A and B are shown apart, each in its own frame.
Chain A
């Protein structure tokens, strides 16, 4: 957040923080409520829970951590992190693929 923000601007920010707070509480209640639904499909259950968690995560990172309006340097650091994080998750999922090299090696 830039230094020229004055007290009036911060009052507006406070309103936004409170809105995010209420949204996070609603998101939490929705996540728990969804877990009570007798949904048979594991994929649907996981998708609903992770979708709500991602929205909540975006609200915390975007507004409480001010990522919505940050400097390029921070975006640069996070872009590199997301690249490696995505790579880590891709390797995890790839290693579970029956056609991956790991499985082919063990199959021999």
Chain B
């Protein structure tokens, strides 16, 4: 028995069934992302004054990813329009660009994730000194820390490309544009000058049995901001992967339907396109919320 209403609209809804199905699914997706946005708002407003970080993410990369998704959105809709105009070759060309955009988006996202896992906050003992690129030294005061990317990790020293910050001064940064004014350079730190990490007031021990150093990368556990960042963008990236798999299937093996049932195939492309536009729509809000505010 054939599946009903794959092409012709139902009389009561005026739509083919898959279209009602995808919109019901997108409605549940709106609530899913809505719940996480709600969590973001609560975490952000509930954060103590000066504790919410700004300027941690690379804006040019985030902007590039936004443009990549916008390009993929126009190619998806153009691919569907090409099928409506019975131009299968153009459809294939546009959807291949969509798939390349999905791949580019995921590669950039993976690079950004790697960047955060190599970005460290190092807490130093008061009175110790760190060596700057130009040969000068900085004596560490109470509340000072070194923030930047780990370049070298030797047995007795580490090299960070970053800056010496102070917790009181850092709390005054409330906008991303203030963070951008900070100058970064190579800083060499002796491991013996790094504080020992305390877990519930007790000195922590590392996997090697030695005292654990008070330095941590910007992974999900480092800050509340990082945890919501990884949750939101991770879930979004899973949607990009899911959408790309469906579009890829319809572009490759699934395209055989164009010869047997072109109208049904065109409808499938429209449905996959609606999902893809939703993924773009979510990113349109994620970008300013996570990168710019």
Contacts and interface: CB of A to CB of B under 8 A. Distances in A.
A35 B289 CA distance: 11
Interface string A1-31: 0000101001101100110110011001101
Contacts of A20: 74
Interface in B246-291: 273-274, 277-278, 280-281, 284-285, 287-289
Contacts of A13: 81
Nearest to B281: A60
Contacts of A57: 281, 284-285
A7 B85 contact: yes
Given A5-B84, A56-B284, A85-B34, A73 B14 contact: yes
A65 interface: yes
A11 B81 CA distance: 8
Interface SS of chain A: helix
Interface in A53-105: 53, 56-57, 60-61, 64-65, 71-74, 77-78, 80-81, 84-85, 88-89, 91-93, 95-96
A73 B14 CA distance: 8
A13 to B, nearest CB: 6
Q: Categorize the interface residue count of chain B.
A: 35 or more
Contacts of B59: 32, 35
Q: Chain A, interface size: which category?
A: 35 or more
Nearest to B63: A32
Contacts of B15: 71, 73-74
Contact of B288 (A31, A38, A84, A89): A31
A61 to B, nearest CB: 6
Contacts of B27: 77-78, 80-81
Contacts of B284: 53, 56-57, 60
